[in-house]
Structure formats: C-alpha cells, structure tokens
Structure 1
Amino acid sequence: MSGEKPSREQLAAEYTAISQLIDEVKQRIDLLNASLNDIASAKGALEELEAVEEGEELLVPIGAGVYMRVRVVDKSSVLVTVGASILVEKGLEEARKYLDEREQRVRDLLRRHVSDYQALASRLSEIERELRAGR
C-alpha cells in the first residue's frame, strides 16, 4: 500500500481492535500491580515474623479483612508456593530472596506492558486524528 490512505472503515476496524487490546493490556497491568502489592505484603510479613519471638502470638490476615490469631512455633522457615499449589519450605532469607527475584520479574513485565499500553494509546490517538480530519 504505497502511499495509499486507509479507508474510514479500515481505520474504524483498527480503532476497535486496538481499543480491545488496550483493555486487555490494562487488565494485565492491574494484575501485575496487584501481584506487586501481594509481594510487598509478604515481604512485610517476613519482617514482622523476624521481629517476634517463638511462642508469641500474631494476627495473620486470611482475606477479606479477617484475621486469625496464631502462635509462632518455628520462625526459621516459611512455606512458599512455587506453582501448581506446590509448597516448598524455605528459610527466611531464602524466601526474601525468592520474593525479590519474583518482584523483579513482575516489574520487568509491568514495564513492558506499560510500554505496550503507551504505544497502543498513541496509535489510538493517531487514528482518532485521522478520522476527525477525514470528516
């Protein structure tokens, strides 16, 4: 298509497709941000665990604003989900390192998705300008 302008119908179809892609990318960005919040909460919980003595009682969130009292029996290790509902026991430092690595992977993905989002939004703006100019 050397120099040929896309038709209004082609632009409208592209606009619709990109709008849907933007929605999908935005959902992924939201999920990645939620994952970062979960990681930050887990890191905070590890710090709290280090600060208590064995035998002390803690309030542990179990979701939806509900907490449970637990007594710390062994604070030398925690259980970490490594996928497919598989739990692995890790020392606190190893768990912190695992969370740091996971956080870095999520941040890298987030950067890529934000970049994709910006490129799609930019193209959407171009299409809007072309459609307005072609009235």
Structure 2
Amino acid sequence: MSEQQLKQTVSALDLRRAQLENLSQQQELIRGSIDEHLRAKETLENYLKINKEDELLVPVGAGVFIKTRTGDQKEAMSGIGSGIVVEQDIQEIVKHLDEQLEQLRRSAQELAAQAEKISGAVEELTRSAQQQYEALQRGASADGS
C-alpha cells in the first residue's frame, strides 16, 4: 500500500463529501420551496371558504398590513415564469400548485436516493482510507524495527 494510493483515496473521499454537502443544500432548497407552495395552497383554499364581506389583513412586509374585503373574488394573480403574471381562477392555481408540489416531492426523493448512494460511498472510502493508513503505519514500523 503506497502513500500515493492513500492520497488518491482521501481525494476521492473529499470529493464525495463535497457532493453530499451539495445535495444537502439542494434538499434544503426543495424543502423550502415545498413549504412555500403548501402555504400558498392553504391560503388560497382558505380564501375561497371565507364570506365575501369578511375583512382580511394582507401582509405587505416589515410588519405592515392592509385591511381589505374579499368581495366575490374567485381569481388571483399567478406567476407563470419569466416574470410574467396572469390572472387565473383560484381553483386552477391550486391545481397547478398541487402539480408543482408533486414534482418537488419527486425531486426530493431523487436527491435523497442520490445522497444515500453517495453516503455509502463515503463510508466505504473512509474505511478504505483507514485501512490504507494502518497498512502504511505497519509498514513504517516494520521498516523502523
């Protein structure tokens, strides 16, 4: 067992750990996106249930709210990509959010599977590096005896 082989194993281990960290960050972004989509869906569904004369507080940021009434509003504005916003039926928006949620959940599952595979590789490389190091140490102590 050579020192060069150990260095290669450690380099491969570092690469796999970096990949695992990258996947972890991607998973966190997807979790945040899922949470955002769920909040939007829940808000729209609850909005459809309220009486048309009920008063709402609409958050505009920094702890500031606007008082408004719902009226007979059954449509909302929805981003469709590239900075384009269109007016759509709320039920259609909820349906689209459900589709996006399903897509996000599939992506999360795929990332989890990749992370599990890479985690197994990290464990194997860690064991290999440890064995290589121990073999080098035994060889060095045998030479020094």
Pick the TM interval, shorter chain.
0.7 to 0.9
Q: Alpha-carbon deviation of 1:68?
A: 4.0
1:35 to 33, 36, 40: 33
**Which residue of the partner structure matches residue 25 of structure 1?**
23
Pair 62,119 (structure 1): closer, same or farther in 2 beyond 3 Å: farther
1:130 to 114, 125, 128: 128
**1:1-135 alignment runs, 5 A limit:** 7-62=5-60, 67-135=65-133
Pair 12,67 (structure 1): closer, same or farther in 2 beyond 3 Å: farther
Q: Look up the equivalent residue of 1:33 and give its one-letter code.
A: R
Q: Alpha-carbon deviation of 1:53?
A: 2.4
SS in 2 for 1:103: helix
Q: Alpha-carbon deviation of 1:51?
A: 1.5
CA RMSD of aligned residues (A): 1.9
Residue correspondences, number: 130
Q: TM-score normalised to the size of structure 1?
A: 0.86
Percent same amino acid among aligned pairs? 24
Pair 110,62 (structure 1): closer, same or farther in 2 beyond 3 Å: farther
Q: Look up the equivalent residue of 1:115 and give its one-letter code.
A: A
Q: Alpha-carbon deviation of 1:69?
A: 3.1
Any gaps of 5 or more consecutive residues in structure 1? Answer: 1-5
Larger radius of gyration: 2
- Give deviations 1:97-133, integer Å, cap 9, x for gaps: 1001000111111111111111111100111111111
Higher-RCO chain (CA-CA 8 Å, sequence separation at least 6):
2
Any gaps of 5 or more consecutive residues in structure 2? Answer: 134-145
Q: Is the contact between residue 15 and residue 127 of structure 1 (CA under 8 Å) also seen in structure 2?
A: yes
Q: Look up the equivalent residue of 2:6 and give its one-letter code.
A: R
Q: Alpha-carbon deviation of 1:73?
A: 3.9
Q: TM-score normalised to the size of structure 2?
A: 0.80
